[in-house]
Amino acid sequence: MRLLQLMRPSHWTKNVFVFAALVFGKKLSGPAGEAFVAVASAAGGFVCFCVASSAIYIFNDIIDRGADSLHPEKSKRPIAAGAVSMGSAAVLSGLCAAAAIIGALVLTWSLTVIIAAYVLLMVLYSLLLKRVMIVDCIVISTGFCLRAVAGAVVIGVFISPWLIICTFALCLFLAFGKRRAELARLRENSQSFRETLGAYSPELLAHMLDVTSGLAVVCFLLYTMDARTLTVFGTNNLVYTTPLVLYCIFRFSALVQNGAFGGPTEIILRDRPFQIGVVLWVLCCAGIIYAKSLGFSFGDVLAY
């Protein structure tokens, strides 16, 4: 049980970005056999990233065990609490990394390269880059972009620049949001637990949240109105899901700035209004993208 806790399964929700290309690449509208293979491949990529991210979580916990032992919440983690030895944790981390690489090899060589790049980037993050202000959040966002690209590679669809741009902008917003939540929770002791938090201030992070949230929304709007989006989906009606996008972004920003939650994972798993907003957005997007496949047209409903 302690070893499973060490792998942080609750954080596997972050890997849902692997499924983005499955939905937006219209792989669910083909013949049943092809759709099944695409879903199975995407699920395989998701599992590979779950195991790879667990390897990094364990490695990071080994590196940060001293600071974590003083943290009000992280002190409960198995390594910081002394429930799991560093030797056992190191072995588990290595096994997870190896399993991710082997699983990726079974699926496709390109996924293997992406998983290896992700692991290398996150190791550098744990050892060095997380101590560099702003760079720490950029690296985290890049890790999510690798997840999205992996989802496209594993099912064999075109890697849209919009997939990367929108993912990066959104995840940069989420990363700065996590830093803001940590400041709100830890207050004057924040630098003791994370070195870079001493360089951030509530005002600076509020400004960064404003900029990145605006960037994420603008990128999404540009994507919905792009000519290729019209060509691929036969409609630009994704633009009408913008109110849901705004609601989710604004609610997330409000929750992290008042310290109600410790970060994106807690909000995703525990805040019901945010969950409802995300689910509604996904359902609306899926309905718009696959409307023609289902024999329904929005042409008579939405015109511009």
CA distance 42 to 185: 36
Distance CA 154, CA 147 (A): 11
Report, in this order, helix, strand and coil percent for the chain, each rounded to 5: 80, 0, 20
- How far apart are alpha carbons 116 and 145 in whole angstroms? 14
Helix (H, G, I), strand (E, B) or coil at 55: helix
pLDDT in tens, 248-274: 999 998 888 877 777 788 888 889 999
Identify the CA nearest to 223 among candidates 296, 292, 300, 148: 148
Query: CB neighbours (10 Å) of residue 128?
Result: 12
Q: What tens-digit pLDDT sequence spans the chain (304 residues)?
A: 778 888 889 889 989 999 999 888 888 877 788 889 999 999 999 999 999 999 999 999 888 877 767 666 777 777 877 778 888 889 999 999 999 999 999 999 999 999 999 999 999 999 988 888 899 999 999 999 999 999 999 998 888 898 899 999 999 999 999 888 878 776 655 454 556 777 788 888 889 999 999 999 999 999 999 998 888 888 899 999 999 999 999 999 888 887 777 778 888 888 999 999 999 999 999 999 987 766 666 554 444 4
| 227 vs 235: CA distance, rounded Å | 10
DSSP string for 234-247: S--GGGGGHHHHHH
CA distance 219 to 238: 13
Distances (CA, A) of 249 to 7, 144, 277: 28, 17, 10
Q: Name the nearest CA neighbour of 188 among 177, 196, 197.
A: 197
Domains of the chain: 1-159 (1.10.357.140), 177-304 (no CATH)
Query: 257 near 201, Cβ under 8 Å?
Result: no
